[in-house]
Structure 1
Amino acid sequence: MGAATANAGAAAASKKQQKLRPKNSIRKNKTKDKKKKPSNNKVKSNEKKNETGKAAAKTPAQRGKNVVQRATASQQLSFFVNQYQSANGVQLSSLELDSLKETCIAELQGPAENITGNLDENMKVVFGSSWKQVLFEKHLKEGQIDPGCPALLVISSSALRSLELLRELRSLTKECHAAKLFSKHMKIEEQVSILKNRVNIASGTPSRIKKLIDIEALGLSRLAVIVLDMHTDVKGYSLFTLPQVRDEFWDLYRSYFHQPLLEGKVRMCLYGPVPTDLEAKKSKANDD
């Protein structure tokens, strides 16, 4: 009986102490608890800020593979030589490799994100101060400017792509129209007739270009720059990978362009994205 009474008294005293405790101290304790255990929303927000900060700290090359980078002349030449040797099953001699210097490549100017879309401005830079006389004027000059001999030849994988590139060159072809050298909707007789006039710029596909050279309608005496279109179609094919077109291009190149390139008479321009990690891949393959 006495023990029960004692327990009841202790319980009553405890309740009384709780009532007497100041409200501020209770609030402080609650505040401390909140500081100790931040909400899930705040944790997620902080994590997101950290991730954003890390992403901003990365270089463009580290942020993703889709970053456009302009290949240097050396990288373009390495890419082209590898493509040539692979497609033709040959190994260039040391003499040929020594002849293929970086000066063989007509390097484009401007920011990397504008790799395509301004071919006309790029060609002005490539041809230098003489661009207007070489690419714009329309009159034949006996002994200097023969008919059907372009200074600039653009080679692409399709007629549609050839027309797209000619649109980029429109500002240079107002006086002297460009020659369209592809088979779609165009007869070879019509093209032969066009090539009897002065031609500064021509754009076409490998098969038709070769045929016109073979029959001596298209001349190469003025040829200074060959633009190779690196554009890929919706299926991912390009001039170097599209079946049949690829073979036709290398046949054309071996027949008419390889020797002038070795001799430094013409320059090439790879127009569009070009892989820049070939040497790294090659080194890794050798290590493996």
Structure 2
Amino acid sequence: SKNDFCSGFLLWKNFSFDPSADEAIEKASDNRIATPQDSDSKPAVTKKRKQPTECFLSQPEEKQESTVKAKKRKKKKISDILEKSAPKPGVPADLQNLLSQHFGENRSVIEIEELKLSDSCFLPANDLTHSFSSYLKEICPKWAKLRKNHKEKKSVVMLVICSSALRSLELIKSMTAFKGDCRVLKLFAKHIKIKEQMSMLEKGVFHIGVGTPGRVKALVEQDGLCLNATKYMVLDWNWRDQKLRRMMDIPEIKKETIDLLEMSIIKLCREGSVKLGLF
């Protein structure tokens, strides 16, 4: 009938041309397409950021490890050289070069010339075949006469300079065959006050002084020890401690020894009244 036809036509028209339904379908399809793209893009960005940071952090760690290894290797090489190298006896040129290097940094040309030690200032050096007593007998054959003639207080005929109090005691024991009945004074700081040493020098006559450069220097500065009567100064040059260091390898001992030499010994050596020996 006509009424049924008209109602059916209206229903078909409303269903096929509903704009809201079409918009909903389009939005749903857009969301479905967009979500996988966003999920794919996020991990790609994070991967690109991780790669440079990992490379940047790993490089300095490798450099630090390599520098530490290089330092360790250098230390081992130094100790290996000292342990394996054949001992070379000290010669006057060693001390001469040491003094020129030390004074050359902050002294004028004229001052450096005045602080130079010529070969005539030195006694024969130890060739590593001597005991301490035999070396002293070689460099001082007229010791008995010098010992008898020495009667001045606050002075010694021979000064022996070494790196420590323990080494001083060892040298005092090893010079028994040489010293005879002469008096030996310990000139180091361990267990002995400087006032005690000054009073002993003032009251009695001593022939040999054995000690460290720091204490000898302090006694000279305080007028407790006079070097005008001194004829010989022996440096314990070749002996090495447990760390394979000679006395001039220890910075503090090296500085104090050079200061003592500069204070008055170099001048006395240049004048010819004192001779230097390297044991």
TM-score of Structure 1 vs Structure 2, range by shorter chain = 0.5 to 0.7
Of 65, 86, 96 in structure 1, the residue corresponding to residue 113 of structure 2 is 96
Instruction: Tell me if the contact between 2:137 and 2:178 (Cα under 8 Å) persists in the aligned partners.
Output: no
Distance 1:171 1:107 in 2: 20
Equivalent residue for 2:146?
134
Q: Give 1:154 deviation, angstroms.
A: 0.4
SS in 2 for 1:240: helix
Q: Which moved more, 1:175-184 or 1:97-106?
A: 97-106
Q: Which moved more, 1:252-261 or 1:81-90?
A: 81-90
Equivalent residue for 1:59?
none
Equivalent residue for 1:120?
133
Equivalent residue for 1:179?
185
**Corresponding position: 1:236 with 2:249:** no
Percent of aligned pairs with the same residue? 28
Residue pairs, 1:15-30, within 5 angstroms: none
Q: Give 1:184 deviation, angstroms.
A: 0.4
Distance 2:208 2:219 in 1: 15
For residue 233 of structure 1, what is the amino acid of its counterpart? Answer: D
Flag the 1:255–1:95 CA change in 2: closer, same or farther, 3 A: closer
For residue 148 of structure 1, what is the amino acid of its counterpart? Answer: K
Equivalent residue for 2:10?
none
For residue 263 of structure 1, what is the amino acid of its counterpart? Answer: E
Equivalent residue for 1:210?
217
SS in 1 for 2:191: coil
Residue pairs, 1:251-262, within 5 angstroms: 251-262=259-270
Distance 2:218 2:169 in 1: 19
5+ long unaligned stretches in structure 2 = 1-83
Q: Give 1:269 deviation, angstroms.
A: 0.7
Equivalent residue for 1:268?
276
Instruction: Tell me if the contact between 1:176 and 1:198 (Cα under 8 Å) persists in the aligned partners.
Output: no
Distance 2:249 2:102 in 1: 9
Q: Give 1:199 deviation, angstroms.
A: 1.1
| 1:179-237 C-alpha deviation (Å, 9 max, x unpaired) | 10000011112211221311111011111101111122212122111111112212232
Distance 1:174 1:152 in 2: 14
Distance 1:176 1:268 in 2: 21
Instruction: Tell me if the contact between 1:77 and 1:102 (Cα under 8 Å) persists in the aligned partners.
Output: yes
Q: Give 1:239 deviation, angstroms.
A: 2.1
Instruction: Tell me if the contact between 1:156 and 1:162 (Cα under 8 Å) persists in the aligned partners.
Output: yes
Flag the 1:242–1:99 CA change in 2: closer, same or farther, 3 A: closer
SS in 1 for 2:145: helix
SS in 2 for 1:226: strand
**Corresponding position: 1:106 with 2:129:** no
Distance 1:199 1:146 in 2: 8
SS in 2 for 1:114: coil
For residue 210 of structure 2, what is the amino acid of its counterpart? Answer: S
Distance 2:257 2:177 in 1: 27
Q: Give 1:113 deviation, angstroms.
A: 4.6
For residue 134 of structure 2, what is the amino acid of its counterpart? Answer: E
Q: Give 1:245 deviation, angstroms.
A: 2.0
Q: Normalized against structure 2, the TM-score is what?
A: 0.61
Instruction: Tell me if the contact between 1:85 and 1:91 (Cα under 8 Å) persists in the aligned partners.
Output: no
5+ long unaligned stretches in structure 1 = 1-64, 272-288
For residue 119 of structure 2, what is the amino acid of its counterpart? Answer: E
Equivalent residue for 1:81?
96
Distance 2:178 2:123 in 1: 18
TM-align CA RMSD: 2.7
Distance 1:94 1:187 in 2: 35
Instruction: Tell me if the contact between 2:100 and 2:112 (Cα under 8 Å) persists in the aligned partners.
Output: no
Residue pairs, 1:156-167, within 5 angstroms: 156-167=162-173
Distance 1:232 1:87 in 2: 22
Q: Give 1:241 deviation, angstroms.
A: 2.0
Higher-Rg member (1/2): 2
Distance 1:98 1:192 in 2: 29
Instruction: Tell me if the contact between 2:232 and 2:276 (Cα under 8 Å) persists in the aligned partners.
Output: yes
Instruction: Tell me if the contact between 2:92 and 2:125 (Cα under 8 Å) persists in the aligned partners.
Output: no
Q: Give 1:163 deviation, angstroms.
A: 1.1
Distance 2:249 2:89 in 1: 21
